[in-house]
Amino acid sequence: MSALPKRIVKETERLMAEPVPGISAVPHEDNLRYFDVMIHGPSQSPYESGVFKLELFLPDDYPMTPPKIRFLTKIYHPNIDKLGRICLDVLKSNWSPALQIRTILLSIQALLGAPNPDDPLANDVAQRWKEDEQAAIQTAREWTRQYAMA
């Protein structure tokens, strides 16, 4: 196996030494490009008190291409699909090598606090969010209780 690029080593060290509040990212021992991630649902969102598991992978050409990331915990959110894939501009067209694992995870946490049903990935969820926001938020709360609380 080739050596891990310095950029990745540095990011990992910093994630360990100065963790972001409410977020953790730990690399697998046998694959240092593959991280187990936990994100706490932001307060005053339907995801409050939930702890969401995600997985993150840094492809060969990182940081020229963005990290790959998805939710492993079921979540009811208009920008996250049934397989946990996330629709977020910084993970796609707005990615820049100046961004980092840390900034991406913060963006995802912010997305939990500010769902955007006008740019949906899960169409059925987005539609419900637009038609009856209160009911959609209630479902998101229930799913959080059911799947994201140990």
Partner 1 sequence: MGAKVPRNFRLLEELEKGEKGRGAEACSYGLSDGDDLLMSNWNGTILGPPHSAHENRIYSLNIHCGENYPDSPPTVQFVSKINLPCVDQRTGKVEPSRLPCLFQWKRENTMETILIELRRFMALPQHKKLPQPAEGTTFT
Residues that bind partner 1 (CB under 8 A): 1-2, 28, 31, 33-34, 55, 57-60, 68, 70, 72, 74, 82-85
Cβ at position 75, least distance to partner 1 in Å: 10
Active-site residue set: 87
Question: Considering beta carbons, is residue 18 or 30 the nearer one to partner 1?
Answer: 30
At residue 43, the 3 state secondary structure works out as coil
Question: Considering beta carbons, is residue 19 or 59 the nearer one to partner 1?
Answer: 59
- Rounded Cα distance between 49 and 60, Å, is 35
- Rounded Cα distance between 46 and 143, Å, is 9
- Rounded Cα distance between 28 and 133, Å, is 39
At residue 32, the 3 state secondary structure works out as strand
Cβ at position 86, least distance to partner 1 in Å: 12
Question: Considering beta carbons, is residue 75 or 111 the nearer one to partner 1?
Answer: 75
